[in-house]
Amino acid sequence: MIGLLLNENLPIRLTVALRQAGIEAKHVSDLGLNGCADLKVWSQSIQERLAVITKDSDYLDLVPASGEGQVVLVTVGNLRLNELIDHVVAKAELIAAFLRLRFQSARALGSQTRLAPMITLRVVEIGLGELPAYASVSTCFQITSRISLGALRSSGGNELREEPIEPSWKDYDALEPVTSLPSRWNLAHWGIFAAFDDDTRLGGAIVARDTQGLEFT
């Protein structure tokens, strides 16, 4: 599992909170790295197979083109300690899943494969007025591979193995447009999220819950 290494600009209490949330986490103080240069912390994070989580944007310059090592940049500004902890913990599972997927995908492709160059992934919640922009990212795509469920189950959910399949197309653009959702459903309990790489819109997700007439199977 890919874990998180908290830089010294993040509190030790956050490390404890992440562990309580089931996320593997260490603080630089756990490794005797307080006051060490960024490069030293970075090198140790690669050895420990941990992604550095930090408020220091200088770490982005340490990510080589090969993608070895990972950085999670906290950009929320100045928050009270409890607010910062709540903010990061709320997103910790998403962060861990993303890092784990990148690591497993590279391993599945072979021991000599490096991860793709890092993107600065930013996920934000958006309002209904941004649904047209949300819909601007096409959801029509070709499928050429899938994750092996057998490998996933036999490993207890720890191995993501890609396997080729007969190419086919999924065209979700042909379904009901997302811009029509407010006229059909009460979206009071829905969350609409968009993902960006810097200012480039990558995609998004809609989380629906507690909606009368909408059943989940």
How many percent of the chain have pLDDT more than 90? 19
Residue located via tokens 């970075």: 42
User: How far is 204 from 196, CA to CA, in rounded Å?
Assistant: 9
What token pair was written down for 60?
């982005």
Q: How confident is the model at residue 102 (pLDDT cuts 50, 70, 90)?
A: low
Query: What is the mean pLDDT of the segment spanning 35-40?
Result: 90
How many percent of the chain have pLDDT more than 70? 81
Q: What confidence score (pLDDT) does residue 17 get?
A: 92
DSSP type of residue 119: -
| Domain residue ranges in the chain | 3-118, 120-135+177-217, 138-176
Task: Say if CB 2 and CB 51 are below 8 A apart.
Answer: yes
Angle at 161 between CA 118 and CA 167, to 5 degrees: 90
Which of these, 59, 60, 61, lies nearest to 28 by C-alpha position? 59
One-character DSSP codes across 199-211? TEEEEEEEE--S-
What token pair was written down for 198?
């810097």
Residues 6+ apart with CB under 8 A from 33: 8, 40, 41, 44
Predicted TM-score (pTM) of this structure? 0.52
Q: What confidence score (pLDDT) does residue 113 get?
A: 36
Which of these, 133, 139, 124, lies nearest to 192 by C-alpha position? 124
Q: Which residue has the higher pLDDT, 63 or 56?
A: 56
